[in-house]
């Protein structure tokens, strides 16, 4: 039985179709004062394994609260075997203390998720692998890169684009996609020329007259990508396209990226978004099959 929370209902339906599993009929709504409501409309046997699919991106608190309502309802039904698939796990960016006595929000949410009865957590390209250590239950951190590579193979005319990470932190994503597509990859690095001067450039490959696809895990304000596009254009890139796993996209990020000169911006459906054209349903379904 698969339950889709309101942040991920379409994705849950796709996963259920892939697995030939039942999609639970639920009722979700928001009261005029903003509070959420949740009801399960199908019969669920208490011994039946249940998978909840719910991303906890914007509005994070509402989606997180709805997730707790789903878990509490399943608890009342005595359902014990609960897997949570949270393709985008909110609050993951505060996974450690950057300043004294800050709340480690990723740890606080981990505590709640476990206490509410989740026995296994599955997510996609968690912000940091170390988030898994905040949990006492098994956590599987899947990669959306094979789905992204398939999308690039089918939809981009250039057969050998350079796959480029906007910073060192995203190098592994670029490497994974480039390996699958049998093409080159690189990342942008900052080089300090003097105490006052910093230059950002590609690490080793020239982008002059080449098509480049920038890949990152998250696009939030778009600042990182706009900066990368500006550098690539200055260095003579022929065309620049952008793909990401989690299209958080705040403050007109897509507009800014397009204005900087990108041909296209695409993301996966870990979050609902105007650019979420790459589905991770198969990635999730294949993994659930093997659990
Ligand atoms: C950073 O660790 C991430 O990989 C992204 O590069 C970052 O979250 C993007 O943020 P923004 O779009 O606001 O530059």
Closest CA to 90 of 73, 65, 117, 115: 65
Residue of 124, 167, 200, 216 with the most ligand 1 atoms within 8 Å of its CB, for mutation: 216
Catalytic residues: 190
By C-alpha distance, which of 287, 267, 157, 251 is closest to 214? 267
Q: Could you tell me the two tokens for 44?
A: 């669920």
77: phi then psi, degrees, rounded to nearest 5:
-90, 5
Could you tell me which of 99, 85, 77 has the C-alpha nearest to residue 18?
85
Torsion over CA: 228, 202, 232, 194 (sign) = positive
pLDDT at res. 203: 76
With a pLDDT cut of 70, the percent of the chain lying above it is: 98
The mean pLDDT of 25-50, rounded to a whole number, is 96
187: CA distance to ligand 1 center in Å?
A: 14
Ligand 1 mean position, distance from CA 180 (Å): 24
Distance CA 268, CA 18 (A): 17
| Widest pairwise Cα distance in the chain | 68
pLDDT tens string 218-238: 999 999 999 999 999 999 999
Ligand 1 contact via 227 beta carbon (within 6 Å): no
Give the length of the chain. Answer: 291
Contact residues for 112 (Cβ-Cβ < 8 A; gap 6+): 64, 68
224 CA closest ligand 1 atom index? 14
Q: What is the pLDDT of residue 77?
A: 97
Q: Write out pLDDT tens, residues 91-130.
A: 998 989 999 999 999 999 999 999 999 999 999 999 999 9
Which backbone phi and psi does 82 adopt, to 5 degrees?
-115, 125
Which ligand 1 atom is at minimum distance from the Cα of 227?
A: 14
6 touches ligand 1 (CB under 6 Å): no
Six token digits for residue 164 = 């480029």
* Nearest-CA residue for atom 9 of ligand 1: 219
Indicate the pTM of the whole model: 0.94
Q: Which of 91, 219, 244, 256 to mutate to test the pocket of ligand 1 (most atoms within 8 A of CB)?
A: 219
Q: Which pLDDT does position 198 carry in this prediction?
A: 65
State which H helix or E strand residue 71 sits in. Answer: helix 60-76
pLDDT at 191 over 90: no
Rounded to whole angstroms, the Cα distance separating 130 from 280 reads: 22
* C-alpha span between 110 and 90 (Å, rounded): 11
- Our answer on whether the CB atom of 217 is closer than 6 Å to any ligand 1 atom is yes
Tell me which H or E stretch contains 247: strand 239-247
The response to whether residue 220 sits with its C-beta less than 6 Å from ligand 1 reads yes
Q: CA 84, CA 225: separation in Å to the nearest integer? A: 31
Q: What is the pLDDT of residues 234-285, one digit of tens each?
A: 999 999 999 999 999 999 999 999 999 999 999 999 999 999 999 999 999 9
Which atom of ligand 1 is the closest one to the Cα of 217?
4
Ligand 1 contacts CB of residue 95 (under 6 A): no
For all residues of the chain together, what is the average pLDDT? 95
Pocket flag, ligand 1, residue 169 (CB < 6 Å): yes
The verdict on the CB of residue 242 being under 6 Å from ligand 1 is no
* 78 vs 44: CA distance, rounded Å: 10
- Tokens 């929370």 correspond to 5
Which strands form 211-219's sheet, in the order they lie side by side?
Answer: 198-202, 185-192, 162-165, 211-219, 239-247, 265-268, 276-278
User: Who's near 104: CB < 8 A, 6+ residues apart?
Assistant: 94, 95, 96, 97, 134
Residue with tokens 């698939």: 85
Cβ–ligand 1 contact at 87 (below 6 Å): no
Among 22, 41, 44, 139, which Cα is nearest to 84's? 139
Closest residue by Cα to residue 165 from 205, 220, 221: 205
CA–centroid distance, residue 218 to ligand 1 (Å): 5
Whose CA is closest to atom 5 on ligand 1? 218
The span from the CA of 25 to the CA of 2, in Å, is 9
Residue nearest to atom 3 of ligand 1 (CA): 218
- The answer to whether the beta carbons of residues 15 and 284 sit under 8 Å apart is yes
């Amino acid at each position: 039985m698969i339950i889709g929370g309101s942040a991920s209902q379409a994705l849950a339906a796709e996963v259920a179709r892939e697995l030939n599993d039942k999609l639970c009929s639920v009722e979700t709504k928001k009261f005029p004062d903003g509070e959420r409501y949740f009801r399960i409309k199908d019969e669920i046997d208490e011994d039946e394994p249940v998978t909840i699919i719910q991303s906890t991106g914007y509005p994070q608190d509402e989606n997180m609260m709805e997730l707790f309502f789903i878990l509490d309802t399943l608890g009342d039904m005595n359902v014990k075997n609960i897997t949570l698939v949270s393709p985008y796990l909110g609050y993951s960016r505060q996974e450690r203390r950057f300043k004294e006595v800050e709340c480690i929000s990723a740890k606080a949410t981990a505590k709640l998720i476990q206490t509410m009865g989740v026995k296994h957590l599955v997510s996609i390209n968690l912000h940091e692998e170390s988030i898994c250590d905040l949990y006492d239950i098994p956590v599987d951190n899947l990669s959306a890169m094979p789905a992204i590579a398939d999308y690039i193979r089918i939809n981009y005319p250039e057969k050998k684009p350079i796959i480029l990470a906007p910073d060192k932190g995203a190098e592994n994503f670029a490497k994974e996609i480039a390996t699958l597509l049998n093409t080159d990859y690189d990342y942008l690095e900052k080089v300090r020329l003097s105490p006052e001067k910093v230059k950002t450039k590609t690490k080793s490959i020239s982008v002059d007259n080449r098509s480049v696809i920038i890949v990152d895990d998250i696009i939030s304000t778009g600042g990182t990508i706009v900066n990368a596009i500006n550098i690539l254009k200055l260095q003579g890139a022929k065309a620049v396209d952008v793909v990401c796993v989690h299209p958080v996209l705040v403050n007109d990020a897509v507009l800014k990226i397009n204005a900087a000169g990108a041909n296209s911006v695409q993301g996966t459906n870990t979050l609902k978004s105007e650019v979420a054209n790459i589905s991770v349903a198969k990635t999730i379904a294949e993994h659930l099959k093997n659990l």
